[in-house]
Structure 1
């Protein structure tokens, strides 16, 4: 599988056809943006999840802002835009949505945005607001998990783990539970590792690699 969802236009990344008769050049095929989107998501998720676990005593997550803006945000958003012309509705929706998520998340922690400043003196209100924000993304992720059930086993695990991650982080905010937030961080690390694997599986094509990695293809409907 060359994309999160196999494109109808054929094998992505193949050599473009020669110039057609009459001088008109056939449209070029797009490279697979899947590994870029998956690894951008995985790297940003891994860093934030380690912060949620308070690894090495880190309690302030602001260092993730740069990653969230440019790696998890911009790079993944662009991957989603490139999935559209490839005919991959699922990949375009997922990458664009999570690219927007990371950029919106980063905006919360940018000092000049004024978002956190608006909640100064009201930590409970801030926690509730962040909890609602996370539960909204839990909903989006659960819907994508349902849509992934006929794609591959790898994607089922990816969106299943991510759904649980958002749920735990949201509950952690609502309940002011450090233990629940840490559990969400642990699930986030597992999610990031799965995303790394899925990205690697897409990058190692049969034509250009010594070996490939299975994603656990699920038979498609024939009717």
Structure 2
């Protein structure tokens, strides 16, 4: 087997028409050695092909890091399932990290932070540095009681006007999404081997009203 090296990073959390899906191999020196990106609705559909392209270009990774959410239901399900399968097949460690923590690793500030991410039904997901994750309509941002000094990250931070941020003492970081190196730094700082999707909404699929079919005899 080829010598192992680097960390495979997967991020399919972004949702909506402006979604960016990333698969990258980060080397021991922190530089990206190979990467694939896809954009737009359905971008996560090809994440397995993207991962194969990256893995064909580099030695097998020594571990895998995947973004666990909050974000696109389909993107999280596809990327996390793929990460588990690759980790099992390659016999390497698997770590997960949230979108907010990965964005915080870009900013590298000690201040409390909030990460606002695009969600379905015209809402935003709100992840806070103390661990709370909620969802609300954009117009409810004026009701939020984040303390002065809070740094705001995420691809939905535009719902916070500069005027509102100035009045409340918040800072807009301009960081929409984390890069591969930041995702890796966050996973090293907040290591979690409990790699499951960070879903906020309950599943929409429901059992049939008449019940499930009986098991075959």
Global fold match (TM > 0.5): no
Bin of the TM-score, shorter chain as denominator length = under 0.3
Relative contact order higher in (CA < 8 Å, ≥ 6 apart) = 1
TM-score, length-normalised on structure 2?
0.26
Structure of larger gyration radius = 1
